[in-house]
């Protein structure tokens, strides 16, 4: 027998049917998608933080409950890969077709997801704060955008460049899942309507929405590296002020150009404002550039 690209299906975290790109080999089926330059491969950590094996089955139906986080991670990684390819002509996070590895069932009751420089990792959540985190396509877009940022602007993960790094991940989370809430599909499964963050109303989840609320936190793990997930509320609100005026189609081109062409590792909020204005001017002209300028002035960034 030999490795053959094929298709199958499975159920996601909410019991929803999803078609899957798979590979079969010697009577087994694997979450390996060979339909892109770089494979998309989804691994199972089986509640460890160290041992990862390709998620597999004896037929092409990934329908058991324990497979649900793998089905969603695999499906949404494909969706986000295709978003970057189709909308920005970017072939994977490095622009060169790098393979995309996801790991599900990471740790035990683990309430987070992250990019570690090589792969995306998703906890199952504890069932109260989070359900399995791969169940939200905005979370997957957020994490994969950390990889894109690492390979482009290289925004350092502290203080203002760190908050911009976080904000760009939320912004591309919006482009893949166009609502102003982040992580709503997996956050507090027992509470309807809430989310991890709001871009339209950052204050609802204890983030500043204006420079006059900027939080000076230390560059430590407890200080969230200078508040990278806190102060991101300010550029997030500027994004909300922008996209509600010029629309998603223009905003995504402008934000992508700023991230991949103008921004540099130590960029401040002011630098981001200038980079986005220049990108808007390059691509569309003064009307859109003025919208960006007003969007950032409204949050106290000049």
The residues annotated with a catalytic role in the active site are 143, 229
Query: Is residue 136 near ligand ASN by the rule CB under 6 A?
Result: no
Alpha helices in the chain (DSSP H): 68-88, 137-151, 159-176, 224-227, 233-246, 248-257, 269-283, 286-297
Q: For residues 136 and 292, which CB has a smaller minimum distance to ligand ASN in the complex?
A: 136
Length of the chain: 302
Site string for Ca ion, 111-140 (x = CB under 5 A): ---------------------------x--
Query: Is residue 103 near ligand ASN by the rule CB under 6 A?
Result: no
- The one-character DSSP state at 114 is E
- Rounded to whole angstroms, how far apart are CA atoms 116 and 53? 17
User: Facing residues of 44 across strands?
Assistant: 53, 104
Query: Is residue 177 near Ca ion by the rule CB under 5 A?
Result: yes
Q: Taking a C-beta distance cutoff of 8 angstroms, is the pair 145, 164 a contact?
A: no
What does 112 bind: ligand ASN, Ca ion, Zn ion, none (CB cut-off 5 to 8 Å by kind)? Answer: ligand ASN
- Rounded to whole angstroms, how far apart are CA atoms 74 and 140? 10
Q: For residues 23 and 73, which CB has a smaller minimum distance to ligand ASN in the complex?
A: 73
Q: Taking a C-beta distance cutoff of 8 angstroms, is the pair 55, 62 a contact?
A: yes
Could you identify the residue written with the tokens 């990278």? Answer: 228
Query: Is residue 169 near Zn ion by the rule CB under 5 A?
Result: yes
Total residues at the site for ligand ASN (CB under 6 A)? Answer: 7
Q: For residues 23 and 171, which CB has a smaller minimum distance to Ca ion in the complex?
A: 171
**Chain residues that interact with Ca ion, rule: CB under 5 A:** 138, 177, 179, 181, 187-188, 191, 194
**Chain residues that interact with ligand ASN, rule: CB under 6 A:** 112-114, 142-143, 146, 166
**Chain residues that interact with Zn ion, rule: CB under 5 A:** 169
């Amino acid at each position: 027998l030999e490795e053959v690209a094929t298709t199958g299906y499975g159920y996601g975290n909410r019991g929803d049917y999803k078609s899957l790109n798979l590979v079969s080999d010697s009577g087994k089926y694997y979450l390996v998608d060979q339909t892109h330059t770089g494979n998309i491969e989804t691994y199972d950590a089986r509640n460890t933080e160290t041992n990862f094996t390709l998620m597999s089955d004896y037929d092409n139906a990934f329908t058991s409950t324990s497979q649900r986080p793998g089905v969603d991670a695999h499906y949404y990684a494909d969706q986000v890969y295709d978003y970057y390819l189709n909308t920005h002509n970017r072939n994977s996070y490095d622009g060169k077709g790098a393979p995309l590895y996801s790991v599900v069932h990471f740790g035990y009751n683990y309430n987070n997801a992250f990019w570690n420089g090589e792969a995306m990792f998703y906890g199952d959540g504890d069932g109260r704060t989070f359900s399995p985190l791969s169940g939200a396509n905005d979370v997957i877009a957020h994490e994969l955008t950390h990889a894109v940022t690492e390979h482009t602007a290289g925004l350092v993960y502290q203080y203002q460049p760190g908050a911009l790094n976080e904000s760009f991940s939320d912004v591309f989370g919006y482009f893949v899942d166009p609502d102003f809430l982040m992580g709503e599909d997996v956050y507090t499964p027992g509470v309807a309507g809430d989310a991890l963050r709001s871009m339209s109303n950052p204050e609802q989840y204890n983030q500043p929405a204006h420079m006059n609320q900027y939080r000076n936190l230390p560059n430590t793990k407890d200080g969230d590296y200078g508040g990278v997930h806190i102060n991101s509320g300010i550029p997030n609100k500027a994004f909300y002020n922008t996209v509600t005026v010029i629309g998603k189609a223009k905003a995504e081109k402008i934000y992508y150009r700023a991230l991949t062409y103008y921004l540099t590792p130590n960029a401040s909020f002011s630098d981001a404002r200038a980079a986005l204005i220049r990108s808007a001017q390059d691509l569309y002209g003064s009307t859109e550039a003025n919208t960006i300028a007003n969007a950032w002035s409204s949050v106290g960034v000049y």
